Amino acid sequence: MAFDTNVDYDETRAAEINAVGWVFTGIAIAAVFLKIFTRVESKRAGWDDFFIFFSMALSIIATAFVSYSVTLGLGRHAAAVVAQHGMERYEQTAYWQIIAYPFNIGAFSFPNISIAILIVNLLDPNPLRARLLYAMVILQVMIAMISVFLVFFQCNPTAMLWNPTLNGKCWSPDIFNGFSYWVSAYTTLTDIVLAVVPIMAFWKLHMRTSTKISVCIMMGLTMLSAIVTIVKATFLHLFTDHTDPLFNVVPLVLWGLIEQNVVIVAACIPTLRPFFRKTFQSTKGSTDPANSRSRSNSTFKLSSKPTHSRDPFASERDRKVTKMDIYGDEESNSSRQGIWRTREVTVETAE
């Protein structure tokens, strides 16, 4: 195969790939560890935490493989890599870039399962809605995994993916590109649904407008993931580019790294509100007028009437009063009654 030789042999985007990859991966790692810390501290760790931790591990592996591929030649023109290091170096570079693909797919797919679990636990019990959400995200993961098989089955032998000099046969690029567009379209739809469903539910709650807006923004962050997925889809055709595959594929690689980490962060943010509230409140000290008023009152009467505003992301201190945490009434029953159902309680405080 002849690569495009009418290029600048010194041009490289290696630093850009490493910077974008590790900055966004670092942000995702920080978000995941804050999420795990918050959930463990509140003794509410669940399956959503497992899936997000698993996604973070996949993201780190994908970024590491891409970074290693960069050290070999990814981000440089293919003709320059072959001219300087030979065809073997090109094969190694392409190999590690392709090996990173399955981990990238998993890293942006499994967080949706975590988000679906969180939404189901937050909202009022609705078996039909829960089944539909779980079915949607599981299907999204399945079709994403199918795209992984298509990558490695599209050529016979498979080594033709990174060694174009081998004799063999590959499918038409239109097959893989077409399925990749379908995966992106369905992933975008899933992200939008996972944003709209909780926003519609929380917007109907009777709570302070500022709280309502902040909660809806946090639960709607998967909409940002949808935007990133759409942008990445415009570069999907570069995966099967053969004129200058190590350089032309860079935009797809960059947006793939961004996508896998943005969706992880979007899955973590909603569960971090208790952490931030506790952190900010601790800086106010005992001179906070609101805290002083709370200590001066002898009783609080909390009602489930719609006129009372409740925060579904109450901090640990708030939960001592409202008996509410991120999953709802912690004293209701083992089925975790949702935020729509709380019983009236009276909490007395010592003078």
Residue 228 domain-assigned (yes or no): yes
**Structural domain of residue 321, as residue ranges?**
286-348
Q: Are the CB atoms for 269 and 115 separated by under 8 Å?
A: no
Q: Report H helices in the chain.
A: 14-41, 47-72, 78-85, 87-122, 127-153, 173-203, 209-219, 222-233, 245-248, 250-268, 273-284, 289-296, 316-322
Same domain, 318 and 175: no
Same domain, 116 and 147: yes
Q: Which has the higher per-residue pLDDT, 246 or 349?
A: 246
Residue 317 domain-assigned (yes or no): yes
> CB-based contacts of 333: which residues, under 8 Å, 6+ apart?
none
Compute the mean pLDDT over every residue in the chain, rounded to the nearest whole number.
Answer: 78
Percent of the chain topping pLDDT 90: 40
Same domain, 155 and 299: no
pLDDT of residue 212: 75
Helix (H, G, I), strand (E, B) or coil at 164: coil
pLDDT of residue 304: 32
Q: How confident is the model at residue 164 (pLDDT cuts 50, 70, 90)?
A: confident
Same domain, 57 and 163: yes
Percent of the chain topping pLDDT 70: 76
Q: Are the CB atoms for 233 and 249 separated by under 8 Å?
A: no
Q: What angle do CA 29, 48, 258 make, to 5 degrees?
A: 40
Give yes or no for residue 248 having a pLDDT over 50. yes
- Sign, Cα dihedral of 142, 148, 152, 154: positive
Could you say which of 275, 297, 318 is where a domain stops? 275
Q: Which residue has the tokens 């973070």?
A: 56
Residue 115 domain-assigned (yes or no): yes
Q: Are the CB atoms for 99 and 29 separated by under 8 Å?
A: no
What is the per-residue pLDDT across 40-92, written as a single tens digit (0 to 9) for each? 776 676 788 889 999 999 999 999 999 999 999 999 999 999 999 989 999 99
Same domain, 195 and 172: yes
Give yes or no for residue 207 having a pLDDT over 90. no
Q: How many domains does the chain have?
A: 2
Could you say which of 249, 275, 301 is where a domain stops? 275
Same domain, 175 and 313: no
Residue 318 domain-assigned (yes or no): yes
Could you say which of 229, 248, 275 is where a domain stops? 275
Q: How confident is the model at residue 123 (pLDDT cuts 50, 70, 90)?
A: confident
Phi-psi region of 134 (alpha: psi -120 to 50; beta: other; left: phi over 0): alpha
Q: Are the CB atoms for 74 and 93 separated by under 8 Å?
A: yes
Same domain, 95 and 217: yes
